[in-house]
């Protein structure tokens, strides 16, 4: 019997990627605060993804009579964009997006996604799998007009680093070193292998 799979993320892109590879899952999102302590990008995404998964699992436990989760896999994920050791989050407005893209154009940067998988066995015992995946992204030189035209589409405003590699911004991606889907928001091949090991697939 396959385990119940829960994706602890509100990201529509992560939902699309998991659906794309044929995984059957539910979406549960926790509104608990997530604060990281590390200063190393790979460790930050590990911390944040684990917190997301643990928060969702905690919410589930509160609604279960015997206080245990059985035959369930909870997935947490978090993606950050890093340039010159600085994390670029979601832009606060269009001008902030212009500033971020101006910094990214003509250069390379890193995208890290942390994945946390909480594997609950038939006895409710939990196994934690937590890892980061990094992809190096090279962006072509862009004119100010190109940057502003892209920002005007509103596409960058809900995305870390102010761009989505799978959308219109693809025109400005020179190349990547690593997993493309990791930049979209989830390294699905690695996640699939993890789910298979957990008995979720």
Contact 142, 103 (CB under 8 A): no
At residue 84, the pLDDT reads 94
Q: What is the mean pLDDT of residues 54-68?
A: 81
For residue range 148-177, what is the model confidence (pLDDT) as tens digits?
999 999 999 989 999 999 999 999 999 999
Could you confirm whether 119 is annotated as catalytic? no
Contact 119, 127 (CB under 8 A): yes
What's this model's pTM, rounded to 2 decimal places? Answer: 0.92
Residue written as token pair 């990094």: 134
Q: What is the mean pLDDT of residues 88-97?
A: 95
The active-site residue, picked from 59, 66, 71, 78, is: 78
Q: What is the 3-state secondary structure (H, E, C) of the chain?
A: CCCEEEECCCCHHHHHHHHHCCCCCEECCCCCCCCCCCCCHHHHHHHHHHHHHHHHHHHHHHCCCCCCCCCEEEEEEEEEEEECCEEECCCCCHHHHHHHHHHHCCCEEEEEEEEEEEEECCCCCEEEEEEEEEEEEEECCCCHHHHHHHHHCCHHHHCHHHCCCCCHHHHHEEEEECCHHHHHCCCHHHHHHHHHHHCCC
At residue 35, the pLDDT reads 82
């Amino acid at each position: 019997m396959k385990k119940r799979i829960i994706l602890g993320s509100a990201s529509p892109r992560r939902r699309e990627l998991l659906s794309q590879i044929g995984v059957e899952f539910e979406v549960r999102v926790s509104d608990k605060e997530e604060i990281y302590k590390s200063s190393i990008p790979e460790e930050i995404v590990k911390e944040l993804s684990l917190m997301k998964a643990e928060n969702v699992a905690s919410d589930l436990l509160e609604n279960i009579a015997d206080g245990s989760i059985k035959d369930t896999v909870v997935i947490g994920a978090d993606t950050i964009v890093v340039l010159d050791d600085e994390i670029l989050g979601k832009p606060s407005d269009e001008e902030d997006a212009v500033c971020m893209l101006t910094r990214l154009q003509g250069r390379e940067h890193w995208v890290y996604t942390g994945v946390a998988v909480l594997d609950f066995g038939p006895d409710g015992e939990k196994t934690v799998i937590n890892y980061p995946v990094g992809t190096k992204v090279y962006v072509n030189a862009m004119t100010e007009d190109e940057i502003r035209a892209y920002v005007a589409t509103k596409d960058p405003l809900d995305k870390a680093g102010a761009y989505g590699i799978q959308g219109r911004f693809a025109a400005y991606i020179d190349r990547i070193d690593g997993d493309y889907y990791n930049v979209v928001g989830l390294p699905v091949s690695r996640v699939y292998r993890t789910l298979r090991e957990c008995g979720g697939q």
